Structure 1
Amino acid sequence: MDKNRVCPDCGGALRHDSSSGEIMCTKCGVIIEKDVFDYGQEWREFNWDQAMNRRRSGTPTSFTKSDKGMTTEIGKTSDIYSLSSDQRKQYFIMRKWQRRISTPIERNIKFALTELRRIAAQLNLPQILTEEAARIYRIAAENGLVRGRSMESVVAGSTYIACKKYKIPRTLKEIADVFPLDVKEVGKTYRFVCRQLGIKILPPDPLDYVYRFANELELPAKVQTRAVGIIEGAQKMEITSGKGPTGIAAAALYIASLIEDEKRTQREVADVAGVTEVTIRNRYKELLKKLDLEDKLVNLGLEIDINDDKVTEEE
């Protein structure tokens, strides 16, 4: 069981009970999966000879392969030219029929998984997340959810669901731009798939984006710590409710950079966060006012115009 998975209901840690074959939440007790098989090896190997003698299986199954890696693919190889003409003819016939006997859903899944692997490489997504996205897309295709929608939008929506499940900070815009697709289309498809498959996703947390944005802006650890404190204070006062997590994270980092004398412009922060400068200013203004941070900035000798991108030191 992947240790990064969390309970879809309460966000608690999951535990695998090997005696009952169940995966349950340690916090609320809900059973996530039952009759779970252990696919791990039951033998040990310490050298290549032992590995060759004790291994009795091939490569593990994978949702990122259209056949889950269980089908013998009749592919292309130069070895066929050492065969007789009759054997080569039989080979080409077998390969042609292998392609023909696949169902429309299988062909759709095959093309979709190729796209999924491409965007996973571009977004630098971990393998476990790619597997989850492939699993979600496969279920969606088998339930007829791709019909009437573009394959790319369902792939993008499945990828976004997997990112949110594993708390990998990727925005809808980032995923949509890889194809490229309209952000609204991807968002609509994402919500449709969640609704139809009964997938419960916790609201995104601005804290998930802080460290990533800070690294891209080359901000030191003290700025990140300050930004985390600002966001946690805003969450306690429920300032973040109903607002985009990327905008909150970006504004918190902008304020933290001013306080810690590691200034970044609103434009720089907005470009990294994928939001507009207007969003930065609105969230920034609101955080300053409700968290009583205006006086702190003034005491540091900063003259700040919330309607402009410029921050200057008082003379």
Structure 2
Amino acid sequence: MANEINKDENNEKISKKRGRPKGSHSLTAKELSDEEAVTAGPIKVCPSCGSTDILYDSERGELVCNNCGLVIEDEITDTGPEWRAFDSDQRNSRSRTGAPMKYTRPNKGLVTEIDLYNKDIRGVRIPSKRQAQLYRMRKWHKRASIASSSERNYLIALPELTRVSSYLGLPENIREQAALMYRKCVQNNLIRGRPIETVVQAVIYASCRKAGMPRTLDEIANISGLPKKEIGRAYRAISHELNLKIPLTDPISYVPRYINSLKLSGEAQEKAIELLKEAMKKGLVSGRSPTGVSAAAVYIAGALAGERRTQKEVADVAGVTEVTIRNRYRELKEQLNIDVNL
């Protein structure tokens, strides 16, 4: 009881020192909720008396020692929410910000859109006289949002980028990276003299290699319907002008795709990766197509695991010829001393 009385007296002394009313309410750092503790920061030690009994005044944005009355820190920015939440569901459902910025959208997702449903917020259909006005608003809104040539360029290129990425099964982070790379190409005038679609396929190819999920030029050319040589030429120009540090394609990165397409087990995948690691140590991969070496390793691993697949099946999945698989298979078998009969 005596301790509580002394504590109340200390609070009154501090209130007098800081000029607060006698009945003002402030929480100590120990009494803060989780959300307020994050706002107030870590519990500090008073540099004057060494006490850890720190008072946080949310109205003034100050940290005050509850023992000696020293103002440790002032003008603290309150980054917490400005609403009340009575449970975790309410706290998670409410947010101060809007949708995130996306480079795959022509306006980065930061422009207001007028939909085509002709209904108000309650779902009631808008009268016909009002619909004519909304039609004019949509028309001028669209014209204003694509005023510059670069915005018109994005309106053509980014939907094509999304389409090809969907066919290739690329995740969202690679799509965003490809879109950002394309915007850099537009800013550096690398689009001039080249078809927009060709540059789009080139940035997709570069982003896949940079993220460690490579796709071959043949795959991208088949989906886009563009010549493989033009995509490769645009890729070399972009990587040189933007100074992209793109690593060499690792044959191991193709193994999970081939294993999944051939419906092989995890044991076959582990053996294929082991074979490729040994081949890389002996320099059997340099100067050869990574897809061919990877396909040959998967072909051998399937036989070692008792899940044999034909050369034609592996060749169709990898996009190489059966002759390439046979040649790489003989090299791996001789150099790695693999005892397998196929």
Pair in the same fold by TM > 0.5: yes
Change beyond 3 A, Cα 1:228–1:104: same
2:56 matched to which residue of 1?
none
Does 1:146 pair with 2:191? yes
1:94 matched to which residue of 2?
137
Count of aligned positions:
255
Does 1:200 pair with 2:245? yes
- Partner SS state of residue 263, structure 1: coil
1:129 matched to which residue of 2?
174
Q: How does 1:134-213 map to 2 (within 5 A)?
A: 134-213=179-258
Q: Scaled by the length of structure 2, what TM-score is found?
A: 0.68
User: Aligned AA for 2:209?
Assistant: K
1:225 to 243, 266, 270: 270
Higher Cα Rg: structure 1 or 2? Answer: 2
1:71 matched to which residue of 2?
111
Change beyond 3 A, Cα 1:201–1:42: farther
CA separation in 1, counterparts of 2:182 and 2:327?
37
2:98 matched to which residue of 1?
58
CA separation in 2, counterparts of 1:149 and 1:275?
29
Shift of 1:260: 2.9
Is the contact between residue 251 and residue 284 of structure 1 (CA under 8 Å) also seen in structure 2? yes
Gap runs ≥5 in structure 1: 1-40, 303-310
Q: Which structure is richer in relative contact order (CA contacts within 8 A, separation 6 or more)?
A: 1
2:153 to 75, 93, 108: 108
User: Aligned AA for 1:226?
Assistant: K
CA separation in 1, counterparts of 2:299 and 2:90?
58
User: Aligned AA for 1:119?
Assistant: V
Shift of 1:187: 1.7
2:302 matched to which residue of 1?
257
Listed one character per residue, the Cα deviations across residues 127-178 of structure 1 (whole Å, up to 9, x for unaligned) are 1111111111111122221222222221111111111122114222222211
CA separation in 1, counterparts of 2:303 and 2:88?
57
Instruction: Identify the range of structure 1 (76-85 vs 114-123) with the bigger mean alpha-carbon deviation.
Output: 76-85
CA separation in 1, counterparts of 2:92 and 2:271?
51
2:331 to 266, 279, 286: 286
2:126 to 56, 61, 82: 82
Shift of 1:228: 1.1
Shift of 1:88: 4.8
Listed one character per residue, the Cα deviations across residues 25-75 of structure 1 (whole Å, up to 9, x for unaligned) are xxxxxxxxxxxxxxxx965975554456x5222111111111111111234
Change beyond 3 A, Cα 1:42–1:173: farther
2:36 matched to which residue of 1?
none
CA separation in 2, counterparts of 1:114 and 1:120?
10
CA separation in 1, counterparts of 2:284 and 2:297?
12
- Partner SS state of residue 107, structure 1: helix
User: Aligned AA for 1:58?
Assistant: G
Q: Scaled by the length of structure 1, what TM-score is found?
A: 0.74
Listed one character per residue, the Cα deviations across residues 238-267 of structure 1 (whole Å, up to 9, x for unaligned) are 111122111110011112223333221111
- Partner SS state of residue 145, structure 1: coil
Is the contact between residue 109 and residue 141 of structure 1 (CA under 8 Å) also seen in structure 2? no
User: Aligned AA for 2:225?
Assistant: P
Change beyond 3 A, Cα 1:99–1:288: same
CA separation in 2, counterparts of 1:258 and 1:84?
70
Listed one character per residue, the Cα deviations across residues 182-241 of structure 1 (whole Å, up to 9, x for unaligned) are 222222212211111111100010010112101111122222222111111110011111
User: Aligned AA for 1:60?
Assistant: P
